Structure 1
C-alpha cells in the first residue's frame, strides 16, 4: 500500500484540498479526522468533528479509542487499497495514525504549502478562526445523520484528475461543537411552528390540525395531521406537503429529517 500524507497546521485547508490531491495521484481512499472515505462515500469511522472538546477530537482523529480503531482497521483490511491519503497536523500525527491502523511506517510527505498559495492558506485560517468552519470531504447526505442539528451546508468543486478525468465533488462545511462561539437549542414548539407554516404554504391545505415530533439518535420523525381541500388527488397534495416540510426544516435547522408522515383527518368539499 502506498501511503501519502498531507500535513498542515489546523485550519489551513487540508480537508478542502484532499479530494483534489487524491485526484492528482489517483488515490481512492482518504483518512481524515477519524473517517475512512472512498471517493464521495464514507466507508466507516466516526468523525472527530462530533466530539465536544478538542482533546477528544484529537484522540478520535488518531484512532486512540479501541472500538473505533478496530472498526477502521477491519475496513482497511477488507478493501485493501493500493493507495491511501492521510491528513494530519504534523508528521507525528501521521505516524500515530499509521501505527494505530497497522499500515507501515513509510509515506510520501506533501505539505499544505506545496499545493496551496499563502493567500489561500491565510483565508482558510481566517475562516476557521472567525467562523469556526470545518470541511468534511464528502456530500452532506453522507453525514447528515451523524451531524443532525449541526450547522451544515454544501460546496461543490470540479476536480481534474489523471488523464483529463474531470469529476465534480461535493464537500460539507460543518461547525463542530468545540468550535461554537455559543450554542443554540430549538424547542419542539419552534419545530412545530415551522412544520405548520410549511404545510400552509402548500395549495389545497385547509388547516394543520396537529404536529407530532419524535426524536431519535440520528434525527427526527414528523407526523402532521391536516385538513385538505378536495380539488385534486389527495396523495399528490400530501406528497407536496411532506416535501415542503422536509425541505424547510432541513434548510432552517440542519436537523436530519428521517420521516415526514401526513395524516389526512378532514376533507373540505367545495
Structure 2
C-alpha cells in the first residue's frame, strides 16, 4: 500500500482538492477529518465537523477515540486499497493519523501550494474565515447520514478519467458549516498547555514538583520543556522516561495537538526524611 499526504493550513482548500488529487494519484481511499471515504461512499468514521468543539474536532480527525480508530483500521483492511490519501494541517498531523491507523510510512508529502495557486488559496481562506464553510469530499446523500442536523450544499468537481479520451464526469462533494464554528475561534494558550503538562508530570510517582513548564509551538506540533524536582529515592533516567510518556499521552488526549518532543531538566532532588 502506498500512502500519500496532502498538507496545508486549515482553510486552504485541501478537502476541496482532495478528490482531484486522489484521482490523479490513483488513490482509491481518502482519509479526511475522521472519515474513511471510498469513491462516493463514507465507509467508516465520525466526521470532525459533527463535533461541538474544536478540540473535539481535532480528536475526531486524529482518531483519538479507540473504538472509531479500530473501526477505521478494519475498514481499510477490508478495502485493501493500493493507494490512500491522508489530509492534515501539518506533517506531524498526517504522521499521527498514519500511526493511529497502522498504515505504512508516507510515500510522499504534497503541500497545498503545489496543487493550488495563491489566488485559489486566498479564495478558500475567505470562504472559511468569512462564511465558516468546510468541504467534505463525499456526496450530500452520504454526508447527511452522518450530519442530519447540519445544512449541507452540494459542490461538484469536474474529473477527467485517466487514459480514457473524452470520458469526463462530475463528482459531488458537500459544503457544510460545522457546529463548532458557531462558537467562534477557539485556541489553547501557551500557559494553559503548560499547566496541563505540569499537572500530568506531577501525577507520575517520584515527581515532587514542576518548577517550569515551557511550550514551543510550530506547524509540526508542540515541544514541551519541563524543569522537574524528583525524589532522591528513584532512578532519574527511568522516571524521566515515564514522565515523557505520560505527559505526551495526556496532552495529546486533552488537546488533540501533536507532541513532538518533551525535554526534561532535573531542577533538583528532594531528600525525604527518615523517620
Give yes or no for TM over 0.5.
yes
Q: Which contiguous aligned blocks of 4+ residues in structure 1 show a shift greater than 3 angstroms?
A: none
Instruction: Please name the residue that 2:173 is paired with.
Output: 171
Question: Does 2:108 align with 1:108?
Answer: yes
Does the 8 Å CA contact 2:2/2:104 hold for their aligned counterparts? Answer: no
Q: TM-score, normalised by structure 1?
A: 0.65
Structure 2 unmatched runs, 5+: 185-275
SS at match of 2:103: coil
The 2-side partners of 1:174 and 1:102 are apart by 29
Q: TM-score, normalised by structure 2?
A: 0.64
Q: CA RMSD in A?
A: 1.2
Offset of 1:25 from its aligned partner?
Answer: 1.1
The number of aligned residues is: 182
- Measured against aligned partners, the alpha-carbon deviations of 1:96-140 in whole angstroms (never above 9, x if no partner) come to 001001002232111100000000000101110000000001110
The 2-side partners of 1:149 and 1:29 are apart by 26
Does the 8 Å CA contact 2:5/2:106 hold for their aligned counterparts? Answer: no
Instruction: Please name the residue that 1:135 is paired with.
Output: 135
Offset of 1:145 from its aligned partner?
Answer: 2.4
Instruction: Please name the residue that 1:244 is paired with.
Output: none
- Measured against aligned partners, the alpha-carbon deviations of 1:26-61 in whole angstroms (never above 9, x if no partner) come to 111100000000111111111010001111101110
Question: Does 2:2 align with 1:2?
Answer: yes
SS at match of 2:163: helix
Question: Does 2:33 align with 1:30?
Answer: no
The 1-side partners of 2:63 and 2:169 are apart by 30
SS at match of 1:172: strand
Instruction: Please name the residue that 1:79 is paired with.
Output: 79
Structure 1 unmatched runs, 5+: 183-270
Does the 8 Å CA contact 2:132/2:181 hold for their aligned counterparts? Answer: yes
SS at match of 2:44: strand
Offset of 1:79 from its aligned partner?
Answer: 1.2
The 10-residue stretch of structure 1 (165-174 or 80-89) with the greater mean CA deviation from structure 2 = 165-174
Offset of 1:149 from its aligned partner?
Answer: 2.3
Question: Does 2:126 align with 1:126?
Answer: yes
Does the 8 Å CA contact 1:154/1:170 hold for their aligned counterparts? Answer: yes
SS at match of 1:21: helix
The 2-side partners of 1:181 and 1:71 are apart by 30
The 1-side partners of 2:106 and 2:147 are apart by 34
Offset of 1:181 from its aligned partner?
Answer: 6.0
Listed as ranges, the matches of 1:234-245 within 5 Å are none
Instruction: Please name the residue that 1:51 is paired with.
Output: 51
The 2-side partners of 1:51 and 1:167 are apart by 33
The 2-side partners of 1:145 and 1:180 are apart by 21
- Measured against aligned partners, the alpha-carbon deviations of 1:193-242 in whole angstroms (never above 9, x if no partner) come to xxxxxxxxxxxxxxxxxxxxxxxxxxxxxxxxxxxxxxxxxxxxxxxxxx
